[in-house]
Amino acid sequence: MNQKQKKDIRNMLTSEMTFGEPLAKHTTFGIGGPAACMVFPESREELSTLLTYASEKNISAIFIGSGSNVLVCDKGFDGIVISLKKSFKNISIKKNSMIIVEAGVMLGTMVKQAMAAEIGGLESLIGVPGTVGGALIMNAGAFGSEISKYFEEAKTMTLEGNIKSYTRGEIEFSYRHSTFPNNEILLDATFKCKKGKPHQILQDRKIASDGRKSNQPLKFRSAGSIFKNPSDTLAAGYLIDKAGLKGTKKGGAAISEKHANFIVNMDNATAADVLHLIKLAKKYVIKKFNINLELEVKLIGFPQSMTQGVYYA
C-alpha cells in the first residue's frame, strides 16, 4: 500500500484503524509482522465503503477474527487486515431457542449465553477459540459436535461491498470446511437450537473442559490444531507422534509434548520457526505413512517461495 491509499482510508472512515500494526498482538500464536493497515469497522456501511475502495484500488484485504487459526509471516501483510471483533458483537437469543449473532462475537460468549438460557448442544464448543464468524466458516467442532449442526442462515458481504444471504441448504459443510465463498466476509448467523436439560448441559461442558485441559497444551500460545485429521479414525497428532516428532524444537517454537498436532510458541518464536516445523511434520508423516497432512491453519503474507511443500506433497 502507498501513502495516498492510507490517507484515503483514514479520511473516508471514522472506524478505529492503525497503520504498521504488529499482527503478533492480534493472533493467539503471538506471532506476525505488521499490517500495512488494520481496520476495526464500526458498522456495515463503513465495512462496505472500505471493501469497495480496496476492490477499486486492487488492494489485498483479508479478514481475521480473534486470530486463533492463523500464522502471519514475520514480514507482515502489505494490505488491509479487517477484524470485526470490536464492533460486530450483538447477540440475541429468542424464546424458541433461535440464536441470532454477529460474526465478531466470541464463540465462547455465545456458548455461555446459550447455556444460561438452558439451550443444549453447544456446550462442547465452550473452549474452542475464535469468533463465531471464523468458527462457522471453518465448521469448528469438538468432542463430537460441530457448529454447522445448528446453522440456519447467514449474511455475508462481498469484496465489492454488497450483502448476500445464505440458507442452510445453500451451504455445504464437511470436516473443518464450509462452502462459504473465500472472498466474502461473514456478518451474522442464525442458529436453530433446542432446550436442554440443565444437568446434562453442565455434565457435557465438564467433559469437554476436562478433556481439553488434559489433552491440549493450554499453557503456551498456539493457533490450535495445525493439521486436519486425515479421517474420523486417524488423528494428525497420532501420526506426528508416531513419526517421532513430539517435542521437536526450532528456535522458539516446538511441536507440543502434550499434543503433537499443536505447535506452541515457547519463547518468542517466529513464523519461520513454525513453518519449519510444519514442513518437517508433513515430510516425516508422508515418509512414514504416505499420508499428506492438510493444513488447518491459514497462512497470511508468506511469499510462495516459503510455502513450497506446505500445501502439497
Catalytic residues: 176, 225, 296
Q: Are 259 and 224 in contact, with CB atoms under 8 Å apart?
A: no
Q: How many CB atoms lie within 10 A of CB 35?
A: 28
What are the angstrom distances between the C-alpha of 84 and each of 18, 167, 228, 268, 292? 14, 22, 26, 27, 34
Of all helices (H) and strands (E), which one includes residue 222?
strand 221-222
What are the angstrom distances between the C-alpha of 123 and each of 66, 133, 176, 270? 20, 18, 18, 34
Among 76, 84, 82, smallest CA distance to 50 is for 82
Q: Are 132 and 103 in contact, with CB atoms under 8 Å apart?
A: yes
Q: Are 148 and 222 in contact, with CB atoms under 8 Å apart?
A: no
| CA dist., res. 214 & res. 216, Å (int) | 6
Write b or e for each residue in 269-280: b if 16 or more Cβ atoms lie within 10 A of its Cβ, otherwise e: bbbbbbbbbbbb
Give the orientation angle of helix 3-12 with respect to helix 44-56, to 10 degrees.
160
Residue 175, classed as helix, strand or coil, is: coil
| CA dist., res. 192 & res. 173, Å (int) | 16
| CA dist., res. 161 & res. 50, Å (int) | 8
List the grid coordinates of 125.
Answer: 464448543
List the grid coordinates of 243.
Answer: 513419526
Q: How many CB atoms lie within 10 A of CB 176?
A: 18
